Amino acid sequence: MAILIDLQNVSLEGAERTILKGLSLTISGGDRIGVVGINGAGKSTLLRIIAGQLAPDAGQIRRAKTLHVGYLEQIPHLPAGTVRHALGGGWEIDAALDRLGMLDAVDVSTDHLSGGQRKRVALARLFSRPHDVVILDEPTNHLDLNAIAWLENQISTFRGAVVLVSHDRFLLDQVTTRMVEIDRGTTYVHGGGYARLLEAQAEREAQAAGAEQVRRNLARHELAWLRRGVKARSTKPQARIDAANRLLSRRPDAAARDGALDLSVETPRLGNTVIKAHQVSFAYPGGGPVLSQVSLELGPGDRVGIVGPNGAGKSTFVNILARQHEPTSGTLKHGPTVVAAYFEQGDGDINLDLTVQELVAGPQGIPGSLADVALMKKFWFSGALQQTRARDLSGGERRRLQLLLALARHPNVLFLDEPTNDLDLETIRLIEDFLSQWPGTLVVVSHDRTFLSRTTDRLLEVHPDGSIRDIPGGIDAWIARAAGLAATPEGPGDVPAGVPRGRLLRDAEKDMRRLERKRASLGDKIAASADYREQTLLATELEQVVKDLAAAEELWLSVAD
């Protein structure tokens, strides 16, 4: 394939740190390159350099003649006028708008579009024009799963090169042929997709740990040599003394962030009743029904994912479950022990003029107290960030602040609406690990298929007619159905034909985690109860959970062998 863009030893210095150091990267036709790194690492900066919008401090960039580059920014810009004026006509345009859920908005002014609508129109515009290189900065934000499937197809069938920044691991693993990892200015280029990136990171960490152990062993020997006494040391070559001192003073590289994200919080015990919705309907004033006669019961430890097309009412459904809105008809009840927290899209009710420490303290607290400082540091808010106004935080920092404020309430029920937007992969994985062990009840709206697969064990789909339906088989079955793949069971209790071994292992692990949480919860309830009849009922339920857990472990072992 012809070389389109060639970067050689590209470096860029920021105000306080090195952003890129000695990056060499060749982009050819047919390349699918993913770019990853923590928030603030320089991913968007690298995209701007590749697009020709920013000049590096050092290095060379060569571009093919008559190169046409298409660039989708995180906050895209559209020309003034209607959506139709911005895109033009043709069946391809209309087909793209239909898949992106924007066909009914062709006569709407681009000035009146929401951020998510602007992203979808900008994507349709980008792929409707001829380009040699397409650059995408977080393209899946605000897209539903159908729209993401459309985007995957566009990337896969595009004839030129694609460079994208994304936190969507499923997308990265499906479409990328190489990965660029940015870590404290140093860049690592890995062949293969996201899975190969993880393997390379693990190999690098193992090598670093081995090198540090060697350094420590050498340092111990050199330290013993230096301590043999002034007289003995004076007879040794000065060069070796200098080398020993350098070895002793050297330290392993500092972590990219100060400590691990610590999400541990106290969780009040949940009773048997968590949320009960009976024949709930909802409509905005003057509008049609968003929800229609929905009945749902959630218990302690339930993990529920919510999917559906954009505009179907997913966020409205969560708002009602969280009691942010009252139903138009029907009843919704929270159990007496429920302590709920809501992690919503956008900035929610955060006062953007307040500083991080003022928001954490709340209206009754004293900003900057020792307890608050410790809490902020657990969420990577240290130093000047604590005195930074919320409006001056990056998108990822603001989302992390929202999570901090939600968990500071010590909830036992969490509502998460698109929690992965604007977060980097490291933070998302840490949140997934936290939620996998968290004992409370979880309701999450997300388009992130990996996140849903790792954190939920029940999937509900919101339909445009206002109905809510269970998706048998969870997110993996939903993806297969959306792709037109039919996974048909071979018999009662049999594994669906063609299911990959890795997926079976993930499902079995998810079942084990869920049952372990339920076993622990029932044990706590039995210990806290003074009612003999209640203890007997709980013990019977616990016995069944232990049996189910043993069966899940047996399934995991049979698949793993």
Q: What's the burial of 174, exposed, middle or buried (CB within 10 Å: 0-12/13-18/19+)?
A: middle
Greater confidence, 414 or 288?
Answer: 414
Q: What's the burial of 471, exposed, middle or buried (CB within 10 Å: 0-12/13-18/19+)?
A: middle
* Residue closest to 298 by CA, chosen among 318, 315, 327, 325: 318
Phi, then psi, of 69 in degrees rounded to 5: -115, 130
State the Cα–Cα distance between residues 96 and 125, nearest whole angstrom.
9
Residue 86 has pLDDT above 70, yes or no: yes
Residue 490 has pLDDT above 70, yes or no: no
Domain boundaries, given as residue ranges, for the chain? 3-192, 198-249, 487-561
Q: Note whether 507 and 537 are within 8 A (CB).
A: no
CATH architecture of the region 3-192: 3-Layer(aba) Sandwich (3.40)
Confidence at 233, pLDDT banded by 50, 70, 90: very low
Residue 13's region, left for phi above 0, alpha for psi from -120 to 50, else beta, is: beta
State the Cα–Cα distance between residues 322 and 23, nearest whole angstrom.
47
Q: Note whether 141 and 422 are within 8 A (CB).
A: yes
Q: Kindly list the distances between the CA atom of residue 99 and the CA atoms of 95, 96, 120, 445, in Å, as whole numbers in the listed order.
A: 6, 5, 10, 20
Q: What is the mean pLDDT of the chain?
A: 82
For residue range 269-278, what is the model confidence (pLDDT) as tens digits?
Answer: 888 889 999 9
- Name 163's Cβ contacts closer than 8 Å, sequence gap at least 6: 27, 31, 33, 35, 47, 50, 133, 134, 135, 136
Q: Kindly list the distances between the CA atom of residue 553 and the CA atoms of 301, 335, 472, 512, 515, in Å, as whole numbers in the listed order.
A: 19, 32, 21, 7, 10
Average pLDDT over residues 550-559: 75
Whole-prediction pTM value?
0.72
State the Cα–Cα distance between residues 525 and 531, nearest whole angstrom.
11
Q: What is the pLDDT of residue 250?
A: 59
Greater confidence, 279 or 272?
Answer: 279
State the Cα–Cα distance between residues 343 and 259, nearest whole angstrom.
23
* DSSP secondary structure string for all residues of 267-290: -PPP-S--EEEEEEEEE-TTS-EE
Q: Note whether 280 and 293 are within 8 A (CB).
A: yes
Confidence at 497, pLDDT banded by 50, 70, 90: very low
According to DSSP, the residues that pair with 275 across neighbouring strands are 298, 334
For residue range 99-144, what is the model confidence (pLDDT) as tens digits?
Answer: 888 888 889 999 888 777 888 899 999 998 899 999 999 999 888 8
Confidence at 376, pLDDT banded by 50, 70, 90: confident
Phi, then psi, of 434 in degrees rounded to 5: -60, -50
State the Cα–Cα distance between residues 323 and 528, nearest whole angstrom.
29
| CA 337 from centroid of its chain's CA atoms | 29
Residue 259 has pLDDT above 90, yes or no: no
Average pLDDT over residues 219-229: 61
Confidence at 311, pLDDT banded by 50, 70, 90: confident
According to DSSP, the residues that pair with 338 across neighbouring strands are none
Within 10 Å of residue 21's Cβ, how many Cβ atoms? 18
Q: Which of 52-61, 254-263, 367-376 has the lowest mean pLDDT?
A: 254-263
Strand (E) positions, 308-424?
329-334, 340-343, 413-417
Q: What is the pLDDT of residue 41?
A: 83
What the block records as the tokens of 348 is 């929610």
Q: What is the pLDDT of residue 336?
A: 93
Which of the given ranges, 80-84, 270-274, 426-430, has the highest pLDDT on average? 80-84
Q: What is the pLDDT of residue 493?
A: 39
To which residue do tokens 């002014």 refer?
A: 109
State the Cα–Cα distance between residues 401 and 347, nearest whole angstrom.
10
